[in-house]
Every structure is written in C-alpha cells, then in structure tokens.
Chain A
Amino acid sequence: MHQDALLFMLGSWTVVGLAAFYCFYRLMTSSRRLDD
C-alpha cells in the first residue's frame, strides 16, 4: 500500500477511533448510567 495513503487512512482511523472511544469512556464513567 502507498505510504501516504496508509498514513492518511491510519491517521483518520486514529482520530475517529480515539474520539469515539473517549466519548463512550466518558459515558460509561459518568454518574448517570448508560442503562438509566
């Protein structure tokens, strides 16, 4: 795979993945439960 393409793909995946993970981590550790 082209190096630049790999860089952009993994970079975009990392930004999106980390942001989604952070939001769900915060939701799960919030004082209001997810199943409430």
Chain B
Amino acid sequence: MAKERWATRLGLVLAMAGNAVGLGNFLRFPAQVAANGGGAFMIPYIVALLVMGLPLIWVEWAMGRFGGQHGHHSAPGIMQSMGRQKFWKYFGVFGLWTNLMVAAYYLYIESWCFIYAFYSYLGGFIHEAPGDFFERMLGAEKYSIWAISYWGMGAFFVCIALNIWILSRGLARGIEVVAKIGMPLLIGFAIILAVRGLFITQGKFEFQLTEEKVKELQTEGVSPRVLDRLAELRGQSLTLAELREKLGGALPEVKADADRQFNLVTKATVVAGTDRHAERDAIEGLNYVWKPQYDKLWSPSLWLAAAGQIFFTLSIGLGSIHCYASYLREMDDITLTGSAAAWTNEFCEVILGGTILIPIAVAYMGMAGVEKAGFGMAFTSLPTLFNHWGAFAPFAGFLWFGLLFFAAITSSLAMGQPIMAFFQDEFGLSRPRSALLFGMLLLPLAGAVAVTHSSTFFEEFDFWAGTFALVVFAFGEAILFAWVFGMNRGWTEMMKGAELRVPGIFFYILKYVTPIFLGLILVGSVFQPKGTVPDKNPETGEVRKDPQTGEMLTKDLGWEAYVQALVKGETLPAWEWHPGGMIGMLLHKDLDAALERSLKDPQTDKAKAIQFNREQKIVRYVDRAMMVAVYVFFCVLVGIAWRKRREKVWVG
C-alpha cells in the first residue's frame, strides 16, 4: 500500500489549524475571558500558551512524526514505539477512545450549525423564536429522559455520512481540500460579522415630531396616551432604555399591542445613523470582555481556567495532532509548521472569537443579558439579534452558523482520522472500509446522544472524554516524551529538519515545567472542591443577605477559598466536592445541585423532578458502562493487533 502524505505544506498547516479552530474559539473563549478577570485573563493565558501549549504542540508533532517513521499513525502504536513497555500502547488507546467519544456529540453540534445555517438563510428565524426552534430540533421535553426529533436526528446522520465520505477520500483529496476551502471561508465570514457587529451604535431618539408624523402614528393605531407622553418628551434626546422607562406608564395600557406600538415610536423618533434596537454601542462589549480585573490575577481558579482554555483550543491531548503529523517525512520541519498552525488558531480565537458574540449581544441585550453568554446564546439568542439587521439578517445568520459549521467539520474530521488510521495500520483495512467501520462504531454512541436528554450521554461524553481524558492523556505524553523516551532524544527528534530554532529554555520547560503544570491541572480537576464561603461586601465586610428570605448568601470560590483562608490564617471552609470536578461528577453532584435549584422554584412539579433526577442517574450508569466498554474494546483490538504483528515477525 503506497504511503499517504499531505499534498502541500499549506494544506497541512490549514488542516492542523482547522483541527484546533473549533466551536470553543467563538463560543467558549469570549465567555471565559469575561468571566475570569477580563483582560487580566490574558496574562495567565499567554503564560499557559508558552509553558504548556506550544511545548505540547511540538511534543505531539514530534511524537506523531516519530511514530509515522515506524509505520504507526495512531496513538497506541506511536506511544508504543516511543515507550517500549506494553503499558504505553494501552495508554495510547486514549488517543482513539477520546476521539470516538467526542465525535459522538461534537458531530451532533455540527449538525445543529448545519441546520441553523440553512434555516437562517431561508429567513426561518424572522418568524420563529430560535429558542423554540432549538427545543423542536432536540425534541426535548421537561422531565423526560428522552429527547427525540426525527429531522434533528436525520441531519445528524447526514453530517456523520458527510464526514465518513470526506474521510474515505483520504488526506490530500478529502481532509486537505476541506481545510483549504473551510478555513479561508471561516476567517472571511468571521471578519464580515465582526466588522458589521462593531458598527452597531447605541440607539438615540429625539422628539421633534411633526404634525404629519403624529398623524401617521395615529393612523397606525398608536394609543392617545402614548402620543400624549411623546408630546411631553418634545425636544428631549433619549436612549432606548430611557425611552422604555419614559413610556413605561403608558404602554401597559395597550398590553398585547405594546411591542408593536413601541416599535412604531422608535421608528418615528430614531436619530439617523443610530441603531434603534441597540441598548449600547457594540464597542462596550469589547470593554466588557477585556476590562482587566487585576484583583483576580492571583486567583488559582483564573490560572486553571486559562490553562484549560489553552488546552481545549489547541486540541491537545486528543491524539489527532499525532495522527496528522505522522504523515510527515523524517526530515520535514515541525517546529515552524506546528507554530504556524497554533498561532493561526490563536488569531481565530483572540482576535476573531472575542469580537463577534459578546459585542453583538451587549449591544442588543445590555450587560445583564450577556452574563450567561456562551454556548446556548449562540443558538437561542443570536439569530433574533441578527433580525435587527433587516435584509442582511438571513445572510448574517448563514455566515455565523456557516463559520461555526466549518470550524466544527475541520475538527470532527481530525477525530475520525486516527481511528481510521488505526484500522488501516493494524488490520490492513482499505481507506473506505476503515471509514465505514469508524461510522459503524460511531452510530450506537451518536444514536444514544441523539435520543436522550443532554444531561446524560451528551454531557457525560463531553466531561469524561472531551475534558478529563484530554488532561490525563497530555500528562501521560509529557512524561513519556521527557522522562521515558528521554529529553535528549526527544529534543533531537524535535529539532530534525527544524526551520524555527526553539530557544534552549524550552528544553527545561518541557522536562520540568510542562509535566508539573499538567500534573497540577490534573490534581486540581480531580479533587476540585466547592469552596463555599460567605458572600461578604468587600467595603463593609458584612455578609450579604437575600432581600426576600433574609438568608445569608454564599459564593463558591473553589480552590481559591482555601488559598485565601491559608494566606489570611482563617479557618478553612468545610470540604465539599465541586459539581463540575471529576469526583463531583462521579457522585452526580451536578444533578443534585440542579435538582436542589429546581425544587426551590414554586412552579416545579416536585415528584416529577425527583423521578427525573433518579432516571438521569440510571442513564448515567449506562453511559459510563458504555464508555468503559468502548475503552476495553479498543484495548482488546490493540492486543490482537500486536499479537498479529509478533506472529508476522516470527513467521517472517
């Protein structure tokens, strides 16, 4: 079988960058920055990029190229060729398992982007609220463990089929072509949206209504009370929020017609050149994202969040970078090419990712509206906001979801390739057959994700495979490269054909700092505590109270609570597992916290909520058993493959 290669160097850079640029760049990054110290987040972010991100990128590229020279293009073989001990090939199974598990739900999100892009283009969100459409697409119902939507599932399977088809065409004619088309389009779409978004100017309203305009409003059916109020405002200049406040007394009288009448008033009074729907200038959204909170800089949670973001954004610990790099020749450069791919990802994240979602949301929803900015907002709010752009709205929706779709597909293809490569290398299957086998393995997992409530298969795969396993795998590979393979050999391997001289300090960073940094992240996420402390007013030192119930308020600071208590010599907070930490997740603390919250709501059907919580836990045991079974299945396959190799050597 002729050895597969990348057709061009540009194709490789774009495919690697496409692997790294994903939904997280546009949805997760801005929310993380805003929630974790604003501009101050960038200090630990850049530090984590330099001491962990870039070194690990070079390590993964070097490991991949080394494995490729020994005939391996997936993590089990690559790690075994470096580690020699049997253990490493079974540890390398993470590089297959994680990809399959993540692909099972990632492709689902990819299919949402696909559906949303076309529905936006057809003007669907002009008539239907995106939140309702989202529920319809998932088929989710309250208190039901099942979430079945046949057309939603149909689109999901179309996306899976599309990925399999592209993968079956191979590196040069499949993945590389998609990257060469998808990446420039993605960047182009993002630039158009960012520029259009940043030009949103706060709505200004002036009240110089002529007789003609008043008559026009009368004939449109605006109530006399509202018109009287407008007359009182003559000569004033107001913002949208002020106008809403001033008309507040008059509008409730017209009740059902209030929105339409308010709309007519804004149309008649808006100052030319301002956006009558905008609460604020979009630039204020940039302020919201970037304003530094220096006091947070010493918080361990901020450093953990920044390291986590670097980790996810560069697609480290998946095994896909190893796979792509394994198709290089022995003396092909990896330091410059790897850095170019990593910095392209950073460009898409820091410059483009931070400039679209939050500025647009702040402009139309105000500061309060973006506090929960992130994943859900992209699907449930943004299409409505685009509607304020008139005739451009359907196209803007198409651009936004189109860019998310390209970001997703270039990443999902990178998840399929290692699994295909495993079947090709170790079992001699052809490319189309291994692509089909990948699809067959994916189907039961993807099917389970598609028919169940998101708190079960979807969230569990995301946490255990998409978050936790990445850190475990990266920690293992850092140890393997620096301490088992040996740092001297590793450095020599990394520098073969290098076009970018990596400064010697990185030798020591790779040997000591990166493993320690990863070890800390691993321990921090395994034993993550809730760290509940009283919510004190920083000026008076008094504990804040709930204005309605009078209860003392608390806040969860995680590790920060313990560091603060140690520094100040205070009593340590009582230990409780964080719902988002590894042990907390294992004990279903997140489900219990959600149940507790829902039971506080008087509208909750308590019996149904408790029953739903019980069912969620049962399904979680099933999905966990499934995850373990898939890992064991891959271990068995690895065992068989290596036995076959040994037999081949003896017979030969």
In the bound complex, what is the Cα–Cα distance between A17 and B349 (angstroms)? 11
In the bound complex, what is the Cα–Cα distance between A10 and B321 (angstroms)? 30
Q: Determine if B499 is an interface residue (Cβ-Cβ < 8 Å).
A: yes
Q: Determine if B593 is an interface residue (Cβ-Cβ < 8 Å).
A: no
Q: Which residue of A lies closest to B8 (CB)?
A: A35
Contact at B346–A20, with CB atoms within 8 Å? yes
Q: Determine if B536 is an interface residue (Cβ-Cβ < 8 Å).
A: no
Q: Which residue of A lies closest to B41 (CB)?
A: A8
Contact at B8–A4, with CB atoms within 8 Å? no
Complex interface: chain A residues within 8 A of B8 (CB): 34-36
Complex interface: chain B residues within 8 A of A27 (CB): 9, 13, 336-337, 340
Q: Mark B26-50, 1 if CB is under 8 A from A, else 0.
A: 0000000000001110100010000
Q: Min CB distance, A15 to chain B, in Å?
A: 7
Q: Which of B40, B283, B291, B336 contacts A26 (CB 8 A)?
A: B336
Contact at B336–A16, with CB atoms within 8 Å? no
In the bound complex, what is the Cα–Cα distance between A33 and B343 (angstroms)? 19
Q: Mark A1-36, 1 if CB is under 8 A from B, else 0.
A: 110111111011101110110011011001011111
Complex interface: chain A residues within 8 A of B337 (CB): 27
In the bound complex, what is the Cα–Cα distance between A19 and B286 (angstroms)? 22
Q: Determine if B287 is an interface residue (Cβ-Cβ < 8 Å).
A: yes
Q: Determine if B347 is an interface residue (Cβ-Cβ < 8 Å).
A: yes
Q: Which residue of A lies closest to B288 (CB)?
A: A5
Complex interface: chain A residues within 8 A of B350 (CB): 12-13, 16
Question: Given A4-B291, A26-B500, does the pair A32, B39 have CB atoms closer than 8 Å?
Answer: no
Question: Given A16-B351, A30-B499, does the pair A4, B39 have CB atoms closer than 8 Å?
Answer: yes
Complex interface: chain B residues within 8 A of A30 (CB): 333, 336, 499
Q: Which residue of A lies closest to B42 (CB)?
A: A12
In the bound complex, what is the Cα–Cα distance between A5 and B33 (angstroms)? 12
Q: Min CB distance, B526 to chain A, in Å?
A: 31
Complex interface: chain B residues within 8 A of A4 (CB): 39, 291-292
Complex interface: chain B residues within 8 A of A12 (CB): 39, 42, 46, 290, 350
Chain B positions 365-415 with a Cβ under 8 Å from a chain A Cβ:
none
Contact at A9–B9, with CB atoms within 8 Å? no
Majority SS at the chain A contact face:
helix
Q: Which of A5, A32, A34 contacts B290 (CB 8 A)?
A: A5
Q: Which of B292, B333, B499 contacts A5 (CB 8 A)?
A: B292
Complex interface: chain A residues within 8 A of B344 (CB): 20, 23
Bin the interface of chain B by size.
20 to 34
Contact at B340–A17, with CB atoms within 8 Å? no
Q: Which of A2, A15, A23 contacts B339 (CB 8 A)?
A: A23
Q: Min CB distance, A5 to chain B, in Å?
A: 4
In the bound complex, what is the Cα–Cα distance between A4 and B287 (angstroms)? 9
Q: Determine if B10 is an interface residue (Cβ-Cβ < 8 Å).
A: yes
Complex interface: chain A residues within 8 A of B286 (CB): 1, 5, 9
Contact at A1–B283, with CB atoms within 8 Å? yes
Q: Mark B202-235, 1 if CB is under 8 A from A, else 0.
A: 0000000000000000000000000000000000
Question: Given A1-B283, A26-B499, A34-B10, does the pair A8, B347 have CB atoms closer than 8 Å?
Answer: no
Contact at A24–B340, with CB atoms within 8 Å? yes
Q: Mark B87-108, 1 if CB is under 8 A from A, else 0.
A: 0000000000000000000000
Contact at B46–A36, with CB atoms within 8 Å? no
Complex interface: chain A residues within 8 A of B39 (CB): 4-5, 7-9, 12
Contact at B333–A16, with CB atoms within 8 Å? no
Chain B positions 245-272 with a Cβ under 8 Å from a chain A Cβ:
none
Contact at A13–B351, with CB atoms within 8 Å? yes
Complex interface: chain B residues within 8 A of A5 (CB): 38-39, 286-287, 289-292
Contact at B290–A9, with CB atoms within 8 Å? yes
Contact at B346–A8, with CB atoms within 8 Å? no
Complex interface: chain A residues within 8 A of B500 (CB): 23, 26
Contact at B347–A20, with CB atoms within 8 Å? yes
Complex interface: chain A residues within 8 A of B13 (CB): 27, 34
Q: Mark B595-627, 1 if CB is under 8 A from A, else 0.
A: 000000000000000000000000000000000
Contact at A19–B343, with CB atoms within 8 Å? yes
Q: Min CB distance, B532 to chain A, in Å?
A: 31
Q: Which residue of B lies closest to A27 (CB)?
A: B340
Q: Which residue of A lies closest to B291 (CB)?
A: A5
In the bound complex, what is the Cα–Cα distance between A4 and B295 (angstroms)? 14
Chain B positions 475-503 with a Cβ under 8 Å from a chain A Cβ:
499-500
In the bound complex, what is the Cα–Cα distance between A8 and B336 (angstroms)? 27
Contact at B343–A32, with CB atoms within 8 Å? no
Q: Min CB distance, A29 to chain B, in Å?
A: 10
Complex interface: chain A residues within 8 A of B283 (CB): 1
In the bound complex, what is the Cα–Cα distance between A15 and B499 (angstroms)? 21
Q: Which residue of A lies closest to B341 (CB)?
A: A23
In the bound complex, what is the Cα–Cα distance between A20 and B46 (angstroms)? 14
Complex interface: chain B residues within 8 A of A33 (CB): 9
Chain B positions 314-368 with a Cβ under 8 Å from a chain A Cβ:
333, 336-337, 339-340, 343-344, 346-347, 350-351, 354
Q: Min CB distance, A22 to chain B, in Å?
A: 8
Q: Min CB distance, A28 to chain B, in Å?
A: 10
Q: Which of A11, A17, A32 contacts B347 (CB 8 A)?
A: A17
Q: Which of A13, A32, A34 contacts B333 (CB 8 A)?
A: A32
Taking A19-B339, A26-B499, A27-B337 as known contacts, 4 extra A-B pairs with beta carbons closer than 8 A to each other, sorted by chain A number, are A15-B46, A23-B336, A27-B340, A35-B8
A residues neighboring B (CB under 8 Å): 1-2, 4-9, 11-13, 15-17, 19-20, 23-24, 26-27, 30, 32-36
B residues neighboring A (CB under 8 Å): 8-10, 13, 38-40, 42, 46, 283-284, 286-287, 289-292, 333, 336-337, 339-340, 343-344, 346-347, 350-351, 354, 499-500
| The 10 A-B residue pairs with the shortest CB-CB distance in the complex, in nearest-first order | A8-B39, A23-B340, A20-B343, A5-B290, A5-B291, A9-B290, A34-B10, A20-B347, A19-B343, A16-B350
